[in-house]
Structure 1
Amino acid sequence: MSRVPARLRALTHSRTLHRAATATTTAVLVLTAPAAAHADPGGPVTLAANSLPDVISNLQTWLMGLLAAVATLFLVLGGVYWATAGGDPAQVERAKGALKNALVGYGLAVLAPILLEIVQSIVGG
């Protein structure tokens, strides 16, 4: 009959205590977090919905910003890859791929208004 070494037993005991402490802490935090209060507005509730052109305009703004941000990220990554390539052909190809992705992202950001105009004309707004 083999015995478990004391060091292994202590490590297992420590892990068990750590898991129990983590579970207990999580439960306490969840149960003590304040919840949102829902009050009765007292009158009729009116939803403020935007018109379709407003929604498409907002979508266009967000889409262009998101695409430009992602394209800028790829542009920076491509530059970093190229600068740190040090003559490694695989790293240079990785940099070229990132730069191509950046160009595609900028192209989509420029074309976003046109694409959304097409969607708007199809939907009929």
Structure 2
Amino acid sequence: MSRTPQNIPRTQQAARLSLRLAGPLTGVGLALILPGTAYADPGGAVYLAANSLPVVIANLQAWIMGILAAIATLFLVLAGVYWATAGGDPSQVEKAKLALRNALIGYGLAVLAPILLQVIQGIVGS
């Protein structure tokens, strides 16, 4: 039995057609998605925006508080997982308590970050 287009099942025909169209369609898609050529602005001076020290400290405060809160939340989730999967195992319960304590320390540091940065700002003198 020869394999003429009439003898090939429809699913195979559809697969072959999709393979034939995949390359050109991918090329067209990439051409539409990728940006065109960018040219530099030939004129005008470039000014660097340098923030004042209070602005830098405020930005630092926001970053520190966010990072500490994220790490504390991670430890809180780990404590919950350890506690839920302990199954009465004392070492797992102790591990959960340690993770919970670390989470509380992290949240405490996140709350105290503005005060610590105020102290640093006072020492630096701005």
Does residue 101 in structure 1 map to residue 105 in structure 2? no
Tell me the secondary structure at the aligned position of residue 68 of structure 1: helix
* TM-score in terms of structure 2 length: 0.66
**Mapped partners of 1:112, 1:38: distance in 2:** 44
**Mapped partners of 1:41, 1:122: distance in 2:** 44
**Mapped partners of 1:111, 1:61: distance in 2:** 12
**Alpha-carbon distance, 1:42 to partner:** 2.0
**Mapped partners of 2:117, 2:106: distance in 1:** 16
Distance 1:67 1:41, change over 3 A: farther
Tell me the matched-pair count: 92
**Mapped partners of 2:73, 2:90: distance in 1:** 23
Distance 1:38 1:55, change over 3 A: farther
Please list, as runs of the form range in 1=range in 2, the aligned pairs for 1:37-56 lying within 5 A after superposition: 39=40, 41-56=42-57
Identify the residue that residue 14 of structure 2 maps to in structure 1: none
Please list, as runs of the form range in 1=range in 2, the aligned pairs for 1:15-94 lying within 5 A after superposition: 39=40, 41-94=42-95
**Mapped partners of 1:92, 1:56: distance in 2:** 40
Identify the residue that residue 13 of structure 2 maps to in structure 1: none
| Alignment RMSD | 1.9
**Alpha-carbon distance, 1:97 to partner:** 0.8
* TM-score in terms of structure 1 length: 0.67
Identify the residue that residue 117 of structure 2 maps to in structure 1: 116
- Specify the code of the residue in structure 2 equivalent to 1:69: A
Deviations 1:9-56 (A, max 9, x none): xxxxxxxxxxxxxxxxxxxxxxxxx9x967255222110111111111
**Mapped partners of 1:117, 1:72: distance in 2:** 25
Q: Which has the larger radius of gyration?
A: 2
**Please, which moves more after superposition, 66-75 or 38-47?**
38-47
Give the percent of matched residue pairs that are identical in Structure 1 and Structure 2.
77
Tell me, which stretches of 5 or more residues in structure 1 are unaligned?
1-33
